Structure 1
């Protein structure tokens, strides 16, 4: 499963919405193969907030952000946006 789909599902789960309720402002998967893995800055910001709300502490939050590709690299971009 691609990272952007996992982030969308994570956001939907923590926003209390299911698949029948729509994406709650999160754009649907793009049709083009080149655009399929691109995630917007707003999506990353919302995903980071959702992780922070659900984390049990600072270390847990940092580990989750890293696992989801949401921690910025030395260029300032999250791996999920590459």
Structure 2
């Protein structure tokens, strides 16, 4: 599942930055909810498109979307936007 790392790196490049840790190019952990910018609906939509375009099949896409918090929960909220 190295695709998830590549998807995160792609999304960071598309957004023009973001905090990147020194460990394998993965995004760093957010320091606090008050300081963290909100993820817009458009960012979620573009992230879903990027994941879908890089996924091997439907199961791979669903798994990647879930791992990245891009699948709505039972209440219809997207975890990436919390």
TM-score normalized by the length of structure 2: 0.62
Gaps of 5+ in 2: 1-6, 20-31
The answer for the alignment partner of 2:65 in structure 1 is 65
Shift of 1:78: 1.0
Shift of 1:68: 0.4
Instruction: State the alpha-carbon separation in 2 of the partners of residues 71 and 64 from structure 1.
Output: 9
Consecutive aligned runs of 4 or more in structure 1 exceeding 6 Å deviation: none
Gaps of 5+ in 1: 1-6, 16-21
Shift of 1:10: 3.3
- Asked whether the equivalents of residues 11 and 47 of structure 1 are also in contact (C-alpha less than 8 Å), the reply is yes
Residues 75 and 67 (structure 1), Cα distance of their counterparts in 2 relative to 1, 3 Å cut: same
Which protein, 1 or 2, shows the higher relative CO under an 8 Å CA cutoff with sep ≥ 6? 1
Correspondence 1:56 to 2:56? yes
The answer for the alignment partner of 1:19 in structure 2 is none
Instruction: State the alpha-carbon separation in 2 of the partners of residues 8 and 59 from structure 1.
Output: 18
> May I ask how many residue pairs the two structures share in their alignment?
64
